Amino acid sequence: MPRLSAKQAKALLKAAPLEVAASPLVTSQCPLCGRPLVPGPSVDEHHLVPKSRRGREKFLVHRVCHTKIHATLSEKHLAAEYHTWEALRAHPQIASFIGWVQNKPPEFMDRNIRPRTRR
């Protein structure tokens, strides 16, 4: 999968829905919660393996899903144990979050409070 520059990523996020659906880098659904992705401020990029741990592959996800991932898990745990979508969905806190967020509209944005201690 080709790597996007920051400028290309911003342009992709602001693109019209038809352009986003035609892009090979973008899926029409969030890989974490399965809700449709709507281009704009509700969409973020996520590295399954954090960049600080030499991760390169990017995926578009809802901003609320991305925030929940990083509020729940440290980069060390993301790189070591939770570097697949299946592993992330199996985490108890994230599984509970997915059940809650699936009833929200695709553009839904919320703030996740970081717990005092991460796993």
Residue 79 lies in a domain: yes
Q: How confident is the model at residue 4 (pLDDT cuts 50, 70, 90)?
A: low
Residue 26 lies in a domain: yes
The rounded mean pLDDT for the chain is 79
Helix axes 92-101, 63-72, angle to 10 degrees: 160
Q: What is the pLDDT of residue 44?
A: 87
Residue 113 lies in a domain: no
Q: What is the pLDDT of residue 3?
A: 62
pTM of the predicted model, to two decimals? Answer: 0.69
Residue 63 lies in a domain: yes
Domain count, the chain: 1
Residue 110 lies in a domain: no
Measured in residues, the chain has a length of: 119
Q: What is the pLDDT of residue 57?
A: 87
Residue 30 lies in a domain: yes
CATH number reported for the structural domain that contains residue 94 in this entry:
1.10.30
pLDDT digit string, tens, across residues 49-94? 888 888 888 899 999 999 999 999 998 999 899 989 999 999 999 9
pLDDT digit string, tens, across residues 28-40? 899 999 999 988 8
Q: Which residue has the higher pLDDT, 110 or 26?
A: 110
CA distance 97 to 95: 5
Q: What is the pLDDT of residue 69?
A: 92
Q: What angle do CA 44, 46, 48 make, to 5 degrees?
A: 165
Structural domain boundaries, residue 89: 6-101
